[in-house]
Chains A and B, each alone.
Chain A
């Protein structure tokens, strides 16, 4: 691009900036700016490309293995007979525990913090505590579960032990989402309710909770999708690699999709097909996660239009 606008004959009151030099430098500056822009664009694309690659390799490896038998068969050491029915049922059981537990604990905590607790030391203590818990590595929660639920309470590596461990892990997600939802309920709705003589709890139950339910549910779904993708805490509480019967009660031993992926992946050095079976299981897990997130997004969008 050629210099266009200003020539040095047009003398202003420039003492320090030499217009010719400034213009020449500008050519370089603009070139660098443009170059860097494309560099940054490439960097942004890197994440997208890796994502595409990841999905592509998983589909390539796993798609061929997905059929009705794979979904409904029990675990087996023989690749052609093995299926993930046990892991699917185990994952459902896990959600069955984590969902209600985090909902009760999460909403309760959020209501307490937003509506009852006085702002002050204690309030910020709980709040800080929740923030810090959210950053604790999941494997540490696994050790907590191992020590408390598996050993101390004697639950063993059961659904209830795994479910409670997972609930504690994802609790901060539900609490924070519920707090935000409750906070976003306009004050005038509360005032209208109080104005009609309603008590505090009546107002919360009849006005605040219904109005914030969509936000809370979104949080719960996101927490659930985190929980069913987590592996480390379950490894720590000692979910076995053995072939176990499909669980039918909350105290049964169980396995979940990520555990199945884990064992098949590390054993893929022994049996080639295991890698493809792991990939096929990943596809199932990702589809479940995708569906759950879609539901969360739909709920959130509906919620947005409200006020």
Chain B
């Protein structure tokens, strides 16, 4: 009896201490999503914690992008999407009729797979968000732009060319610019969908370092195809397969002692 209780208590204890310290930012409950008849997300249950990096891994087509786009309701731009279940952001269901998408998206930033700066100057790219929220004061805008660019570790590279078109930047710089653009609205959470897959190794490293810094202030959810990347930068990892969460745990555990055979097969490169 006692030996049994000890063996179950150890991991449980660990969980509870964590939960005391950490605020749940996002909590997904019984989420299902269909594209027409394609059941793309099946009964997803996932918590996500403040000031952590949560990585989502899984083979192509398993629903990673779909899931992360559901978190800020960008997925609803696709026609014929049907969703059931709930996603609680700061304890409020984002699908609630009275929840305004624009508000959600102001609090939850997103970085896309391919850098997508606006065809404007670097300054205007960053100032876009603050401007739509009503900040007109040039001085404040300048401060925000500098702070955001510093936050995205790109200030030094662009400070002398703020009024040049953003398309003059390299791919890696563009991606950090997009991160800066996202920081300028002072989000709570940042969603990243394979942010480094279009970048060269050097730029990838820079973005990875940046993510490590950002988690001090933000909660980050990142989709990645790169197992090493997930292992390097994330605190928690969720493994998706065919629209289901197969396993979710601390990154260390997922990459050392996964409890599901399919997770092990995937991370050891046996498929996907």
- Residues of A at the B interface (CB closer than 8 Å) are 1-6, 10, 12-17, 21-23, 25-26, 29-30
Contacts and interface: CB of A to CB of B under 8 A. Distances in A.
Contacts of A10: 90
Contacts of B98: 1-2, 4
A15 B147 CA distance: 11
B185 A17 contact: yes
A57 to B, nearest CB: 38
Cβ-closest 4 pairs across A and B: A4-B98, A14-B186, A25-B134, A12-B188
B133 A5 contact: no
B143 A22 contact: no
A29 B132 CA distance: 9
Interface in B119-178: 130, 132-135, 140, 143-144
Contacts of A23: 103
A26 B143 CA distance: 23
12 contacts: A3-B103, A4-B96, A5-B92, A6-B90, A6-B107, A12-B186, A16-B135, A16-B140, A16-B186, A17-B133, A21-B134, A22-B133
B99 interface: yes
Contacts of A4: 92, 96, 98-100, 103
Contacts, number: 56
Contacts of B144: 16
Contacts of A5: 89-90, 92, 99-100, 103-104, 107
B100 to A, nearest CB: 7
B130 A17 contact: yes
Nearest to B23: A10
A17 B107 contact: no
B15 interface: no
A29 B89 CA distance: 23
Nearest to A2: B98
A152 B104 CA distance: 74
Contacts of A1: 98, 100
Interface string B96-110: 101110111011000
Contacts of A29: 102, 132
B217 interface: yes
Interface of B: 89-90, 92, 96, 98-100, 102-104, 106-107, 130, 132-135, 140, 143-144, 185-188, 217
A1, A3, A6 pick with most chain B CB within 10 angstroms: A6
Contacts of B140: 16
A16 B145 CA distance: 11
Nearest to B132: A29
A26 B102 contact: yes
A300 to B, nearest CB: 25
A12 B217 CA distance: 8
A207 B168 CA distance: 46
Contact of B186 (A2, A13, A25, A30): A13
A198 to B, nearest CB: 44
Contact of A16 (B100, B107, B130, B187): B130
B109 to A, nearest CB: 12
Contacts of B132: 29
A21 B187 CA distance: 15
B106 A22 contact: yes
Contacts of B106: 22, 26
B76 to A, nearest CB: 16
B12 to A, nearest CB: 29
A26 B186 contact: no
Nearest to A33: B102
A5 B72 CA distance: 13
Nearest to A21: B134
